[in-house]
Amino acid sequence: DQGNSRLFLPKLGWLRYRNSRDVLGTVKNVTVSRFCGQWYVSIQTEREVERPIPKGSAIGIDMGVVRFAALSDGTFFAPLNSFKRHEDRLRKAQQAMSRKTKFSNHWKKAKSRIQKIHARIGNARRDYLHKTSTAISQNHAMVCIEDLQVRNLSKSAAGSTEKPGRNVRAKSGLNQSILDQGWFEFRRQLDYKLAWKGGWLVPVPPRNTSRTCPCCSHVSADNRQTQARFECVECGFEENADVVGAINVLRAGHARFACEVSGAVMPPAAGTRRSDSGAARCRP
């Protein structure tokens, strides 16, 4: 009963719920769940939709920590850093729980507060990722993105007793910042939202995307002297380093997409190896 925001459940009867959006199509199943003391209902429906026609241009995205997403057209999205914003509050709540007797009523209340803080962190992050991925998918038909392996990027630098790591504290902070961004979830959302609109998500290898000059294609670690600035030692081209990375990601994405669609032999593009960019014929 959408008009009155009511839902009929067996053994419970009619219950009111917050109707956040219209339910379209034929209802197939309804799932009721409880999380952090609150009840949620998910309604799965089935309906026919017209095949969408992709609209907009192609764009490359360089993922980062200082800038969550830098686009090849020069625009960027600042990071939310949801965990960092709630870190102090979470630490105090955890310290308060540690002083309580385990499984006592006060301990259970303190644990509930911690769970709510974690839920708030996750909700804020998901909300930001949904808004960002929606904005990009609505304005671009093809999105090229780095195929980042988050698990490898966030590995511990502690090492072992025989081979202790270096700059362990700094690497630990970087790992926390990487995990706080939600890169994998962002890519997952982009993938299905672009598919809804008839677009494509093209992942490309991230190798040398931040070291390759988009003008002369010179590859060197010296091209990027600082985190933010790119200056080619060969031709003198200057630009923001994240934007350069996004431009190279777009070029690599064009090469891979053309290769997959036509099966033609493509020259290597910035950020790709010969086998990736189509120097050899692409295989399915």
Where exactly are the structural domains of the chain?
6-46
| Per-residue confidence (pLDDT) for residue 284, from 0 to 100 | 36
> Residue 1 and residue 7: Cα distance in Å, rounded?
6
By three-state DSSP, how is residue 171 classified?
helix
* CA 269 to mean position of chain CA atoms: 24
Average pLDDT value for residue range 111-121: 95
| Per-residue confidence (pLDDT) for residue 51, from 0 to 100 | 84
Average pLDDT value for residue range 125-129: 97
| Per-residue confidence (pLDDT) for residue 276, from 0 to 100 | 43
| Per-residue confidence (pLDDT) for residue 193, from 0 to 100 | 96
Bridge pairing between strands 200-204 and 140-146:
parallel
Q: Which of 137-151, 195-209, 261-275 has the weakest average pLDDT?
A: 261-275
Q: Is it the case that residue 251 has pLDDT exceeding 60? A: yes
Average pLDDT value for residue range 46-52: 89
| 174: phi then psi, degrees, rounded to nearest 5 | -65, -40
Cα 14 to Cα 19, 33, 61, 158, 172, distances in angstroms: 14, 17, 47, 56, 51
| Per-residue confidence (pLDDT) for residue 169, from 0 to 100 | 74
To 5 degrees, how large is the angle CA 159–CA 161–CA 167? Answer: 40
The catalytic residues are 62, 146, 242
Confidence bin at 137 (pLDDT 50/70/90): very high
Average pLDDT value for residue range 17-45: 90
Q: What is the pTM of this model?
A: 0.82
Q: Which of 36-50, 74-88, 145-159, 210-224 has the weakest average pLDDT?
A: 145-159
> Residue 16 and residue 91: Cα distance in Å, rounded?
37
| Per-residue confidence (pLDDT) for residue 273, from 0 to 100 | 46
| Per-residue confidence (pLDDT) for residue 282, from 0 to 100 | 37
Average pLDDT value for residue range 191-214: 94
